[in-house]
Structure 1
Amino acid sequence: MEILLIGHGESEADILGVHEGRADFPLTEVRESQAIKMADYVTANFPPDMIISSPLRRAKLTAFILQEKTGCELKMDDDLMEFNNGVLAGLAKEKALITYPMPKGGRPIHEPIQGGESELDFRFRSEKVLNKLIYDYKVYKRIAVISHGGLISNLLKGFLNQPNNTCNAFVTGDTGMHLLEIKEGLRIVKFLNNQIHLKWGPLSN
């Protein structure tokens, strides 16, 4: 089976300079156009049999656009939501530095942010998602997963069996795509953070 991980486009939080995480901002108009180009490219080159998405608006709209192009089934999964950043959600980044400063040396991975989850909890949640994708959807040839940068980075760490305390991170640009394959027990990375669709073909109406 193949797993096509897709990040959502730019949201209004990026323009406003606030922490996003669980704050539920929509896509900007420009990034909605990018999602359309992504959907055109995926439909032509990597059409999925199933789409699974985070229910947060910025991901959900991206998923709806892809579903409209492909016509396949779409499911929402709360476990695909971004890191639960608790008190920081929607808070201006400058204000957050003053009100909720990062502890010296950083926050231990097992310690949750106020009102949110810990990095360790986040990693465990992503491992749960990865196992659901591999085992619950193994009857599909290819599934598309629409999520967020932090969750996708953790999914890739889990797919590559990296430890919980790894300092590695995987970047996902606006509507960036990562294609993974599981074949005869092997875990294969076909490409990472592919954004070729942003230069591919005309915008759809």
Structure 2
Amino acid sequence: MTLEHLILLRHGQTDWNSEQRLQGHRDIDLNAAGRRQAVQAAPSVAALRPDVIVSSDLRRARDTAGAVADVTGLPVAVDPRLRETSMGKWEGMTRDEVVVDWSAEWDAWRTTSPDASPPGGESRRQVATRAIEVVHELDAGDAQRALLTSHGGTIVGLTGLLLDLPDTTWSTLIGIGNCHWVVLHRYRGAWRLHSYNAGLGGVVLPHGEDQVAGT
């Protein structure tokens, strides 16, 4: 095991984020605000001294990773296993639309175990299981500090899995703000949480469903 620090960075804002529209695997670009967020956050993320950057293959994550790469000079590796949760039938719908048509399913996905999933979509456990493969592969290499640029739902699930949290607590982790990050460090072989939902604006407190993982 070589990794000592792991930085999990969520992408910048998209128009669909501002509309509270569920993106999932849809390849939505950063908007102007999201591009500014990425550029503004990049020096702080670079100051965490990653020696490798791996990004989801979706453009909103790749372009956010690119802003950090511009500061660090590191190349960006792309890995589809860091994609956001597939939202199945909910992709493209707003949260309000989902709640109207899928109220029970939405509530179950938001508040129950990591094995609940949107209709036709992925559970948090499925997402975390594919994403943690990237961590394991990096751990078998030479990197000590890795930056993974990904998505809110993926970061929440991966955090729960890396910290070995009980299933019943996964849904208590709030979503990550745009261009905010999680930092974990390894101590005596186990991952420890150093910071959660950190960013230039400080910790972002959720308002209702404003920070639902999976968008």
TM-score range, shorter chain: 0.7 to 0.9
Q: Structure 2 vs 1, CA of residues 184 and 193 (structure 1 numbering), >3 Å: closer, same or farther?
A: same
2:27 corresponding residue in structure 1 = 24
RMSD (CA atoms): 2.5
- Aligned-pair CA distance for 1:64: 1.1
> In structure 1, what residue type is equivalent to 2:180?
G
Whole-angstrom CA distance in 2 between matches of 1:195 and 1:105:
28
2:119 corresponding residue in structure 1 = 114
What stretches of structure 2 of length at least 5 have no aligned partner?
Answer: 203-215
Match of 1:63 among 62, 65, 70: 65
1:202 corresponding residue in structure 2 = none
Conserved 8 A contact 1:21-1:83:
yes
Matches of residues 25-104 of structure 1 in structure 2 within 5 Å? 25-43=28-46, 45-103=47-105
Conserved 8 A contact 2:124-2:153:
no
- Aligned-pair CA distance for 1:184: 4.0
1:160 corresponding residue in structure 2 = 163
- Aligned-pair CA distance for 1:102: 3.4
Which moved further from structure 2: 107-116 or 170-179? Answer: 107-116
Whole-angstrom CA distance in 2 between matches of 1:104 and 1:97:
6
Match of 2:176 among 156, 172, 176: 172
Whole-angstrom CA distance in 1 between matches of 2:143 and 2:130:
22
2:186 corresponding residue in structure 1 = 182
Counting matched residue pairs gives 195
> In structure 1, what residue type is equivalent to 2:74?
C
State percent identity of aligned pairs: 25
Conserved 8 A contact 1:49-1:73:
no
TM-score under structure 2 normalisation?
0.78
Q: Structure 2 vs 1, CA of residues 111 and 5 (structure 1 numbering), >3 Å: closer, same or farther?
A: closer
What stretches of structure 1 of length at least 5 have no aligned partner?
Answer: 199-205
